Copies of this chain bind each other. A is one copy, B any other.
């Protein structure tokens, strides 16, 4: 008999009918003989409704009271889901974050989980009950209600799984797993049966927004096997697991891309210690987040510096960079907000040479010019003109045989 933690997001519990569907899925897992803990979000729309009420009173309400307010959203769901389970003769009991004692720090609206007391939950499981837990919320040491920040229900699920040493943490979403790339761009994209935590982190941060990055990090840290699967369809989903469990042959897991990037370059700045800070410090001070950074080797005592920022921040960053370049005596500032980033992700590339050159050749064969390259242990990212996004993704998908299992 296994212990399974299941997490259902706001869309999956968005109506009482959907809550009844979730209850049926949970009961099916129980009927397989497994113990089940269910973590749920607020019904979709509810959190926004509550935030609007607060905004009618104060544009900038006290974080402590915001947490008291929005945490009611999940509390409604746990009660309704428990009722729906009992209606199916599946004994169940609901718990708020405070009741289960999900202890967090006191950083209201973005609290971090410190500890979970599994005592009451274990008693319920032993008594044959499904335990229904409010996601996204906890209490600090003084009993003040805290929230983990929006979407934090994934984190609650992983933390519950870690605290109770669950065999698997299943995240139910509106997609049926993690794909080799976005099926809307490459129809031959294939659902992965398995992916490593590190790959998942790279895929997630690059735009495959299936899971909260924080939850994935948390799951990796506590070695909780995660599975992403669909609330609305049957299927095995994608298991996010540890490297040694993944077959060696799978060199590349997938191709991620990001349309929200823009590129800035400053040329001919003096190549001196601290130059990176002098250029990027003012950008960061303007609250612009920097993604890729590339510095070319020095020529004639000067260097070129290229980085990417979110497209929404492009004009602001360009303004700051022009000022910085003037101050430093740079030769030229250039920018391009018509670019995209393509990334090849896979733990296999660690031990396999030639992946990068195969990637560059594939793009070159299609006449795609590479504007910028950045690599990590399990990822190679290139910046290309945005018009090449679909062509680039499909050609890489083909080159690395991703349509084949």
A residues at B contact (CB < 8 Å): 16-17, 19-20, 50, 53-54, 56-58, 61-62, 64-66, 68-69, 71-72, 75-76, 78-80, 82-84, 86-87, 93-94, 96, 98-99, 143-145
Sort A-B residue pairs by CB-CB distance and give the 4 closest, nearest first.
Answer: A69-B79, A72-B72, A16-B56, A68-B79
CA distance A56 to B83 in the complex (A): 10
Q: Are A57 and B80 CB-contacts (below 8 A) given A65-B94, A99-B143?
A: yes
B93 touches A64 (CB 8 A): yes
Which residues of chain B are near A82, meaning CB under 8 Å?
Answer: 62, 65, 68
Q: Are A84 and B57 CB-contacts (below 8 A) given A66-B79, A79-B66, A143-B99?
A: yes
A68 touches B78 (CB 8 A): yes
Q: Are A65 and B53 CB-contacts (below 8 A) given A58-B86, A87-B58?
A: no
Name the residue of chain B whose CB is nearest to the CB of A59. Answer: B87
Minimum CB–CB distance from A141 to chain B (whole Å) comes to 13
Minimum CB–CB distance from A369 to chain B (whole Å) comes to 54
Which residues of chain B are near A68, meaning CB under 8 Å?
Answer: 75, 78-79, 82, 94, 96
Copies of this protein in the assembly total 2
Q: Are A61 and B83 CB-contacts (below 8 A) given A98-B98, A99-B143?
A: yes
Name the residue of chain B whose CB is nearest to the CB of A134. Answer: B68
Minimum CB–CB distance from A91 to chain B (whole Å) comes to 10
List 10 A–B pairs whose Cβ atoms lie within 8 Å, in order of A's numbering: A19-B57, A53-B80, A61-B83, A62-B82, A64-B94, A65-B83, A66-B79, A68-B75, A69-B75, A99-B145
Q: Are A83 and B57 CB-contacts (below 8 A) given A72-B75, A75-B75?
A: yes
B50 touches A65 (CB 8 A): no
Name the residue of chain B whose CB is nearest to the CB of A82. Answer: B65
Name the residue of chain B whose CB is nearest to the CB of A23. Answer: B57
B83 touches A58 (CB 8 A): yes
Which residues of chain B are near A61, meaning CB under 8 Å?
Answer: 83, 86-87
Minimum CB–CB distance from A50 to chain B (whole Å) comes to 7
B79 touches A54 (CB 8 A): yes
Identify which of B16, B69, B86 contacts A76 (C-beta below 8 A): B69
A84 touches B69 (CB 8 A): no
**Residue of A50, A68, A71 with most partner-chain B CB within 10 A:** A68
Which residues of chain B are near A87, meaning CB under 8 Å?
Answer: 57-58, 61
B80 touches A54 (CB 8 A): yes
CA distance A144 to B98 in the complex (A): 11
Which residues of chain B are near A65, meaning CB under 8 Å?
Answer: 79-80, 82-83, 86, 94
